[in-house]
């Protein structure tokens, strides 16, 4: 065997191994994106007797909050799952949940004030209890939203919103 054909075989071997690695890596990445999140029970709906009542819970390793809020003015919040409409005894109520990790640098944000705003003690960002949106910087992004489901009067956290 001459040197040219030997080195050509080596190159083909490297390409084959590299392609397998890319294919395997692709599968891993797909698996990571679709890995199931174990639903977490937050509690019974009765814990949220009126608008602005909140329940703290842990989800995906982060302190999080469920809130009962007034009907959102922006329908997009309902369509995106940011706010969930639930009918209880023929009355519509609205729920939202999000991580309490500040989207600026990750500090845990504080409890709501009388204006239903939560402030981060680290650099002063503020977020709306109604939907987790940032209302004052330096944070610009909304709090990470949590997908909710209600089954037999029990509120479940079932995933993170995009």
User: Do 92 and 84 form a contact (C-beta atoms < 8 A)?
Assistant: no
Interacting span for ligand FES (CB under 6 A) from 24-32, 59-67, 68-76, 99-107: 99-107
User: How many other CB atoms are found less than 10 A from the CB of residue 75?
Assistant: 10
For ligand FES, the binding residue among 77, 120, 150, 157 (CB under 6 A) is 120
143 binds ligand FES (CB under 6 A): no
Q: Interface with ligand FES includes 104 (CB under 6 A)?
A: yes
Of 93, 139, 146, 150, the residue at the interface with ligand FES (CB under 6 A) is: 139
Binding of ligand FES by 100 (CB under 6 A): no
105 binds ligand FES per the rule CB under 6 A: yes
Give the binding site for ligand FES (CB under 6 A): 102, 104-107, 120, 122-125, 138-139
């Amino acid at each position: 065997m001459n040197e040219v054909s030997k080195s050509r075989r080596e190159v083909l071997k490297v390409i084959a191994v590299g392609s397998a690695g890319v294919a395997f890596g692709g599968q891993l990445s797909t698996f990571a994106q679709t890995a199931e999140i174990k639903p977490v029970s937050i509690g019974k709906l009765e814990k949220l007797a009126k608008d602005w009542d909140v329940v703290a819970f842990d989800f995906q390793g982060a302190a999080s909050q469920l809130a009962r809020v007034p009907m959102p003015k922006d329908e997009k919040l309902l369509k995106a799952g940011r706010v969930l409409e639930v009918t209880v005894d023929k009355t519509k109520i609205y729920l939202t949940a999000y991580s309490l990790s500040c989207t600026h640098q990750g500090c845990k944000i504080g409890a709501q004030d009388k204006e239903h705003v939560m402030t981060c003690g680290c650099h002063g960002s503020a977020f709306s209890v109604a939907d987790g949106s940032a209302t004052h910087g330096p944070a610009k992004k909304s709090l990470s939203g949590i997908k909710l489901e209600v089954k037999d009067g029990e509120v479940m956290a079932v995933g993170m919103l995009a």
